[in-house]
Structure 1
Amino acid sequence: MTTPDLTFILGGARSGKSRHAERLALALAAARQSNVTYIATARQADDAEFAARIAHHRARRPAHWHVVEADVDLAGAISHADDGRTCLLVDCLTLWLVNLISPVDGDEEASVPGHWGPRIDALETALAQARGPVIVVSNEIGMGVVPLGAMTRRYVDELGRLNQRIAALARDVTLMVAGLPMAVKQGSVR
């Protein structure tokens, strides 16, 4: 099953995925004579470098975009913002999954797959039921060497599974390579 207005954009770090998603969101909003709601998934920055990354994203976004900062309830944020007209831009699943697997409060129970699996199911449902256009951004991190640490391997595996689920739902999937969009799936069912 594909979702008619779901676009999934993947890429490595600094591949241009967020910038591409932002341009696409601007074009969709202009065509629909609507606006964009940017759903940010990064939690508070723990260091200066990450704070600079967040500031860079904020500075690049148009001031008239509505911004929602989603916590672990990304499905709720999408459902609440989806009015059928506004383009939703979710940036990014990579950080959202970190929030699920490594909760800020250090809650060990929350990091157990059975505990956060329902949140992933809810996200998939929210995307499948969205009435307006949705663009989702995620990192493609499984193309390198196998990580040495068990937690890092688990994260890479879980993000790969999550990306597969969202790609299966999406009408269009784009892989960003060195700032260039590479069409992986266009308007088809897989």
Structure 2
Amino acid sequence: MEERIQRHQERRPSNWHTLEAPLNPVGGLQGQTARPRILLLDSVDVWVSNLMLEHEGTSRLELEARIVGAVRRFVACVQESDGEAVIVSSEVGHSLIATSPMGRQFQDLLGTVNQAVAEAADKVTMVIAGLPVPIKPLGTFP
């Protein structure tokens, strides 16, 4: 995994700034002296997973409220900025249903979070086999 991450980072342009904020990207952004013109959050699914593990043992309803609240705060932070945001997430609703309770909870939570992000977004694009498929608005792609 470390090698994979390293290759991924090496492909990025040298002028990109990386902010590691595995539990609180809003706090990470607020700690910056200048907001980025373009923000890439990669990825929502890893963030949701990190929050689930951080709050393991929390009731299902409280965990959902925490995570959805954190995502809504992130979306509000992005909407208040002058820049643009690209938010990456996995679509786990097209795969098999997880066999473990935590896996099913992750799938449910990520689906809820993805819906909240998509609702707030101007554009939503699904990438399938490397091909962009426009979801919102229908029939358009930049």
C-alpha distance in structure 1 between counterparts of 2:127 and 2:66, whole Å: 32
Q: Give structure 2 stretches of 5+ with no counterpart.
A: none
Query: Normalising to structure 2: TM-score of the pair?
Result: 0.82
Percent identical residues: 28
Equivalent position of 2:48 in the other structure:
97
- 8 A contact 2:42–2:89 mirrored in 1: yes
Distance change in 2, residues 1:71/1:110 (3 Å): farther
1:135 aligns with 2:98: no
For 2:28, the aligned partner's letter is A
Name the Cα RMSD after superposition.
2.7
Structure 2 partner of 1:160: 111
Q: Distance in 2 between matches of 1:155 and 1:94?
A: 9
Instruction: Say whether the 8 Å CA contact 1:78–1:127 is kept in structure 2.
Output: no
With a CA cutoff of 8 Å and minimum separation of 6, indicate the structure with the bigger relative contact order: 1
Counterpart position of 1:121:
72
Distance 1:82 1:126, change over 3 A: farther
Structure with the higher helix share, 1 or 2:
2
Cα deviation for residue 86 of structure 1 reads 1.4
Figure out how many residues of one structure are paired with residues of the other and give that number: 137
TM-score when normalising by structure 1? 0.63
Using the alignment, how far apart are the partners of 1:73 and 1:102 within structure 2?
A: 14
| Higher strand content, 1 or 2 | 1
* In 1: Cα distance, 2:31 partner to 2:88 partner: 19
